[in-house]
A = this chain, B = another copy of it.
């Protein structure tokens, strides 16, 4: 009798597969308040690694971490017209505090341009104070109509960078640097996710931005996920909050600002980019657990568990993040399936016969392939194996991205091609009317690129290529 699959196959119902893997791999639960989520320890350990890697890159780009309040006076939001229009429908509002009705309602930050703008105005006086490069790790709240764990939740965790510059060029270059050297670099190296780098069309821009740079990834169902954005805000917020400085000639000038963020949404991207019908496949570099040593069965002396413990200690000394599963009161098959579900990159199986023969069965999660190694070899081979798996996951995702992207020449063709992947075509041939037409069938221009796949320097430049897809 064939075993029933642990999860609904991806090809049958991808969204259902996504929900099931999140529950069964113990990644997250829905919170009691609509659209909120509980991030469970197994997923949070991955998020912590994501944070550490992104944070190191942000610091290398010269920004300092700080923390601004969760609470924003409602009036602040209203100072930038596009911004308030963009966020008003999604706000959660505190009207009662300390048992009393508040005089001015307080908004829970949906993003912090406004409150940070207020303090930038205070802190920036002279050109010597520029650029001012700030970042914060925080929770934000957006009351979305349709929510889905990690991808779109009422509350989510993110980092938001906010910078002020003396010139448009400096702001532009910094926004580009963040997208390329922080976000895309992190996503490709650590998450093993190839991403397209481009800019958003006018209608897809952040509320209040003059240009939005974005990283877009392709999921295993061919749909797109926006993984991170970096916004040039021009002087919109600087004027609204009076962020200005005295230049070296003694003249008062208005600053140019940027903002940029990545969030727990990346967890959703990682799941849908790499996961297969057996569960998650967590790239080793961001995995909380990279290797599990699984005691298949033990003898009366507990000698298999003892060997497993020693092996794990040696792996740990070699810098591997490893766990031992010696819970032989649960059936071996059940435990093996659970570790596959959780996507641990390497499973080392040890039974009495292995120990006797001085061998171990090593299972690569990415290929679900087994190899037999001499016990003495395992520690030396594992770090290289983890790197190989990291690379294989990236290569597989990149091949899919390339194979599922079709160059087309008309909106009609784009509709057909984007039903299963991405379509690329000249943006001139799409136009505003084309974007309307695409929207009718839930397609959007995910980003605009130069002919050779680069980030356009000029958002209104000519010869840009539109990447069209269905989006999460």
Contact = CB atoms under 8 A, between A and B. Distances in A.
Interface of A: 29, 31-33, 36-41, 44-45, 47-48, 64-73, 76, 88-99, 105-106, 108, 115, 118-119, 122, 134, 138-139, 141, 143, 145, 154-155, 157
21 contacts: A31-B69, A32-B73, A33-B72, A36-B69, A38-B68, A38-B119, A39-B67, A41-B65, A41-B134, A69-B155, A70-B141, A70-B155, A71-B141, A91-B98, A92-B96, A92-B97, A93-B94, A93-B95, A94-B94, A95-B95, A96-B105
Contacts of A88: 99
A143 B97 contact: yes
A119 B41 CA distance: 13
Given A64-B44, A69-B31, A69-B37, A97 B93 contact: yes
Given A72-B32, A72-B33, A119-B29, A67 B92 contact: no
B115 A71 contact: no
Contact of A48 (B65, B105, B119, B155): B65
A70 B139 contact: yes
A39 to B, nearest CB: 4
Contacts of A118: 32
The 8 closest A-B pairs by CB, nearest first: A41-B64, A98-B143, A36-B69, A31-B69, A33-B71, A39-B67, A93-B96, A92-B97
A154 B71 contact: yes
Nearest to A29: B119
Most buried by B among A40, A98, A99, A115: A98
Given A31-B71, A91-B99, A93-B96, 4 more contacts: A92-B106, A95-B95, A97-B154, A98-B143
Contacts of A72: 32-33
B38 A67 contact: yes
B93 A32 contact: no
Given A93-B97, A155-B71, A122 B40 contact: no
Nearest to A154: B71
Contacts of A45: 64-65
A95 B36 CA distance: 16
A32 to B, nearest CB: 5
Contact of A97 (B48, B91, B157): B91
Contacts of A47: 67
B65 A38 contact: no
Contacts of A41: 64-66, 134
Contacts of A141: 70-71
Contacts of A38: 66-69, 119
Contact of A69 (B32, B119, B138): B32
A77 B61 CA distance: 43
A32 B115 contact: yes
Contact of A66 (B40, B69, B70, B134): B40
A33 B69 contact: yes
Contacts of A37: 69
A370 B118 CA distance: 41
A31 B47 CA distance: 29
A88 B99 CA distance: 8
B89 A31 contact: no
Given A38-B66, A38-B68, A71-B36, A99 B89 contact: yes
A119 B118 CA distance: 39
Contacts of A64: 41, 44-45
A44 B137 CA distance: 11
Most buried by B among A37, A38, A145, A155: A38
Nearest to A119: B38
A240 to B, nearest CB: 14
A90 B65 CA distance: 29
A57 to B, nearest CB: 16
A75 B166 CA distance: 51
A124 to B, nearest CB: 13
Contacts of A108: 70, 94, 108
Given A67-B38, A71-B31, A92 B94 contact: yes
A283 to B, nearest CB: 20
Contacts of A95: 93-96
Contacts of A94: 92-95, 108
